């Protein structure tokens, strides 16, 4: 066997191994756009804070820049493993938006909540997550997208009992 043929065979083998592990990484992240961008797997927006959000819940009302939210005190999704999250996401992918919303409402029924007020100053980044194919993508939103019944995740100045928003993510299709 010639030296050039051996080098070519090793190169092809190396590319095959890299492709295998790369596809596995993208599949396990649940969001290929995020994985490619080097994100955390939770958002396709590189501007989303890397820490856990302080407030997650349902908008009750909006008055100017003050948003009243029924905050989930405990979020059962944070206790799921990556495999369980992937299975849940795959299961919901075949459901209609109405079915997903009904299932989420049933899951959250009876969970402890507290009512908090969050100030969303003008200029704070607000995004809404929308599906483009099978990928969840962050699109620019506005204060007008925050209305009663919408599920939001809010990163604040550190206060779980409200505070000032630093970043807001509106969930669509819950």
Tens of pLDDT along the chain (174 residues)?
Answer: 565 554 444 444 444 434 444 434 333 333 333 322 333 344 467 888 999 899 999 999 999 999 999 998 866 566 667 787 778 777 777 777 677 767 776 776 777 889 999 999 999 999 998 777 777 788 999 999 999 989 999 999 988 788 999 999 998 754
Model-level pTM? 0.60
Expressed in angstroms, the distance from the first to the final Cα of the chain is 59
* Residue 97: predicted pLDDT: 65
- Distance, in Å, from the CA atom of 81 to the CA atom of 57, rounded to the nearest integer, reads 21
* Residue 89: predicted pLDDT: 76
* Residue 134: predicted pLDDT: 72
Rama region for 158: left / alpha / beta (φ>0; ψ in -120 to 50; rest):
left
* Residue 77: predicted pLDDT: 61
In terms of C-beta distances under 8 Å and separation of at least 24 residues, what long-range contacts does 32-40 make, across chains too?
32/135, 33/135, 33/137
- Distance, in Å, from the CA atom of 5 to the CA atom of 37, rounded to the nearest integer, reads 35
Going by C-alpha positions, the residue among 31, 57, 26 that lies closest to residue 45 is: 31
* Residue 159: predicted pLDDT: 80
- Distance, in Å, from the CA atom of 124 to the CA atom of 113, rounded to the nearest integer, reads 25
* 97 three-state secondary structure: helix
């Amino acid at each position: 066997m010639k030296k050039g043929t051996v080098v070519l065979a090793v190169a092809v083998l190396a590319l095959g191994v890299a492709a295998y592990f790369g596809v596995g990484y993208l599949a396990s992240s649940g969001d290929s756009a995020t994985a490619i961008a080097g994100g955390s797997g939770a958002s396709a927006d590189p501007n989303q804070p890397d820490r856990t959000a302080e407030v997650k819940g349902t908008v009750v009302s909006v008055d100017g820049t003050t948003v009243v939210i029924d905050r989930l005190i405990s979020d059962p999704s944070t206790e799921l493993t990556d495999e369980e999250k992937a299975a849940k996401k795959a299961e919901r992918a075949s459901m209609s938006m109405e079915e997903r919303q009904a299932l989420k409402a049933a899951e959250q029924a009876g969970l402890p909540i507290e009512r908090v007020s969050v100030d969303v100053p003008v200029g704070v980044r607000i995004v809404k997550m929308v599906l483009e194919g099978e990928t969840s993508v962050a699109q620019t939103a506005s204060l007008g997208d925050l209305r009663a019944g919408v599920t939001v995740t809010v990163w604040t100045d550190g206060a779980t009992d409200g505070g000032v928003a630093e970043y807001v993510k509106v969930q669509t299709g819950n």
